Amino acid sequence: MGFYKFREAVKKCVSHAQLREQNLRVKELRAKLAETNALKKSDRIAALQNPVHEIPDTVQVTEAYLDDIQRRLYFNDDFADYYIRLGDETNLQKHYNTADSIRNCSKHWFGDWYALRRVFDRKSLSLCHNMFCSNCNHLRQASRIKRLTPVLENYQKTHDLYHCVITVPNCSGNKLDITLDNFFTLARQVTRYLRGDAKIAGIDFLQLGYIGGIRCLEIVVNEKTYHPHFHFVFILKKGLNLIKRHINKFSYNRNQPNLPPRKFSDFEILLQKIAYLAYNNQKVNLASINSVKLGYSCMLDMIEGDEWHEVLKYVTKLTKYTMCALDYTQFKTLYFALYKKHRAYQCLGVLSRLGKDDSIDSEVAEEYRRIIAELQLYENPVSSHYELDSLISNVKNGNMRIISKYIIQQLLNKDAERNA
Ligand SMILES: [Zn+2]
């Protein structure tokens, strides 16, 4: 076959393959559409046979939750102004865009309006996903908790869960960058020991039976200093008997001087010394560990029963800084220390596959479909857009109820009730 004929034959093959792929794709989409229509039909039949006139709490956006959003957006305008200032200083357009999105986070809600029942079905809202936005951090945290809860409940049957906090000395703003670099090296080193990938002659970490966990950096911003610390959840062997018998400087709580001193286990003392050595880039071996008189503050406590729900709140939040007003210097320090440099939140070992998906949850509640079928028995909705302020006043005046398809809404409502 000559070259010309060969080229034509290849072209034909390619176009056949493309056509086949296209047909398959159309077939898939048709099947999906048919499935959705069948579901809609069965929802409609169910709604006709057994109409539910009350809208369940599980799909409603409550008044408490709306208040909660507004409270969490309180500092967003300040952060937007900071981004504009950063844009002026750096001459980078991206900072002006970020200012815009953080200022408008959750302000615009899009969805369907059912006028007869006065129900607004929220389909989407604009989130900024910014690390300084309390609202987005809260949503992210709720999604993490929702994803982790069933998995950890399962591991608790065969293992014990531990909460570990590792702290290094507070640092000034201009040292935060290097402090975090060293701190992350230390955190990684600790998990390498637990996994058995790094060894210290004379110390057996494998007896702890570590299989995975969660790591989360938290930074508390003080007036002049920064207080970074790591929260971990470790999944360890069941029945480790880590007896607490040592007392040192970290046993006393400055804020609660009347409390009895906290005692530490051998492992906690070891961790305190390793933390000191690894953070200060010193060789870690049995001799150097023994030469450290007092390390850095580290705690490891077994999570009893339901306590881990509380612990999850620690290991899933980013920092406390969004809850207080930061000044521009503090904002800039955190921005440059954290921006795209380190992963503040990470799932480890057997949980690592969970850590890859850190999006804000979008699973659809089952009850939602029934409610929509019910609403559509009487009317077709109108596409609408509302601003947060008008939604809040409409809900407060009893003019509107808002529903949301996302399962996560239940969790957010409960949280808002607790905060109210
Ligand atoms: Zn946001």
pLDDT in tens, 292-325: 889 898 999 998 876 777 777 766 555 554 446 7
User: CA separation (Å) from 13 to 6, 19, 26, 122?
Assistant: 11, 10, 20, 47
**H helix intervals, 50-75:** 63-72
Q: What's residue 58's pLDDT? A: 78
Ligand 1 midpoint to CA 319 (Å): 15
Least confident segment among 215-219, 223-227, 324-328 = 324-328
Q: How confident is the model at residue 361 (pLDDT cuts 50, 70, 90)?
A: low
Ligand 1 midpoint to CA 98 (Å): 10
Give the tens place of pLDDT for each residue, 373-408: 888 888 899 999 999 999 999 999 989 999 988 777
- Alpha-carbon dihedral 359, 360, 366, 370, rounded to 10 degrees: -130
CA–CA gap between residue 288 and residue 171 (Å, rounded): 25
CA–CA gap between residue 172 and residue 11 (Å, rounded): 65
Ligand 1 midpoint to CA 132 (Å): 8
Q: What's residue 142's pLDDT? A: 82
Give the tens place of pLDDT for each residue, 228-237: 889 899 999 9
Enter the tokens of residue 212: 């995975």
Residue among 401, 398, 410, 399 at smallest CA distance from 367? 410
* Side chain identity at residue 223, one-letter code: E
Q: How confident is the model at residue 247 (pLDDT cuts 50, 70, 90)?
A: confident
Q: What's residue 88's pLDDT? A: 96
Q: Are residues 251 and 269 in contact, defined by beta-carbon separation less than 8 angstroms?
A: no
Ligand 1 midpoint to CA 416 (Å): 17
Average pLDDT, the chain: 86
Predicted TM-score (pTM) of the model is 0.79
Q: Name the one residue in this structure whose structure tokens are 């701190």.
A: 183
Ligand 1 midpoint to CA 401 (Å): 23
Q: Are residues 229 and 168 in contact, defined by beta-carbon separation less than 8 angstroms?
A: yes
Q: What's residue 261's pLDDT? A: 87
> Does the pLDDT at position 43 exceed 50?
yes
Ligand 1 midpoint to CA 69 (Å): 10
Q: What's residue 353's pLDDT? A: 79
CA–CA gap between residue 107 and residue 109 (Å, rounded): 7
List CB-based neighbours of ion ligand 1 within 5 Å. 105, 128, 133, 135-136
Ligand 1 midpoint to CA 390 (Å): 19
Give the tens place of pLDDT for each residue, 45-82: 877 777 666 787 778 888 988 998 998 898 899 999 99
